[in-house]
């Protein structure tokens, strides 16, 4: 299931609409009708193979659901779905790893897309809570701040301190430490969160663990 979701995400990211990554020729195929296309076929196949494994799981569940708590000859039917699932998943892992090593992340396009949707609105609400504002109230204040941005076609970080204080006087100069995509991401600093330092720590942990293995 995780591999399928990863495959779905990478297929979307490789599409023209997202354009977040470009697979190399070694892990993509051309279109039968459009020569300019690079299709991330390996991950589409990984996504598709997951249905086969999930089907095998359902087979085993149905096989066992009516059996008493002992060995029954019915269980000879578990071998085919089990062995097929192991073989399929090993193949999915191999293909996913190969694909990951042969893509280029389009950094500029990703950075350009990040501000959309006011991602720092959540950290702005956290800022207000740290100032002693109840979350229900901070939710309303942030909503009005975003509405002002929408009317001006700008980002929260573009609002002046006077603009923000016009919505609520609780805002102070330190609010800008919470605004903007980079500041917003870095405010997530608890263990296992999505802040840059936390992600780097997890990457280091797993790289070290895999090298030892």
pLDDT greater than 90 at residue 134: yes
Q: How far apart are CA 121 and CA 108, in angstroms?
A: 22
In this prediction, residues 104-129 reach a mean pLDDT of 93
The percent of residues above 90 in pLDDT, for the chain, comes to: 83
Residue 138 burial class via C-beta count within 10 angstroms: exposed 0-12, middle 13-18, buried 19 and up? buried
Q: What is the reported pTM? A: 0.80
Residue 213: pLDDT band (50, 70, 90) is low
CA triplet 95, 97, 101: central angle to 5 degrees? 115
174 close to 187: Cβ distance less than 8 angstroms: no
Q: How far apart are CA 26 and CA 121, in angstroms?
A: 41
Q: Which domains does the chain have, with CATH numbers?
A: 2-112 (1.20.200.10), 115-213 (1.10.40.30)
Q: How far apart are CA 11 and CA 35, in angstroms?
A: 18
Mean pLDDT of the chain: 93
**Spatial CA neighbour of 120 closest among 172, 200, 187:** 187
Secondary structure (3-state) at 104:
strand
């Amino acid at each position: 299931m995780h591999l399928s979701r990863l495959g779905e995400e990478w297929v979307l990211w490789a599409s023209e609409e997202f354009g977040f990554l470009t697979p190399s020729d070694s892990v993509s195929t051309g279109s039968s009708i459009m020569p300019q296309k690079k299709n991330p076929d390996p991950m589409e196949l990984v996504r598709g193979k997951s249905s086969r494994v999930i089907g095998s799981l359902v087979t085993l569940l149905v096989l066992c659901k009516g059996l008493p708590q002992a060995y029954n000859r019915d269980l000879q039917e578990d071998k085919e779905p089990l062995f097929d699932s192991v073989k399929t998943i090993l193949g999915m892992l191999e293909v996913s790893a190969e694909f990951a090593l042969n893509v280029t992340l389009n950094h500029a396009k990703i950075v350009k897309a990040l501000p959309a949707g006011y991602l720092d609105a959540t950290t702005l609400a956290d800022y207000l809570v740290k100032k002693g504002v109840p979350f229900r109230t901070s939710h309303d204040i942030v909503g009005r701040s975003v509405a002002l941005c929408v009317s001006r076609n700008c980002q929260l970080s573009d609002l002046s301190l006077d603009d923000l204080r016009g919505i609520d006087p609780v805002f102070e100069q330190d609010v800008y430490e919470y605004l903007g995509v980079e500041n917003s991401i870095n405010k997530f600093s608890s263990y296992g969160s999505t802040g840059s330092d936390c992600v780097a720590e997890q990457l280091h942990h797993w790289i070290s663990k895999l090298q030892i293995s």
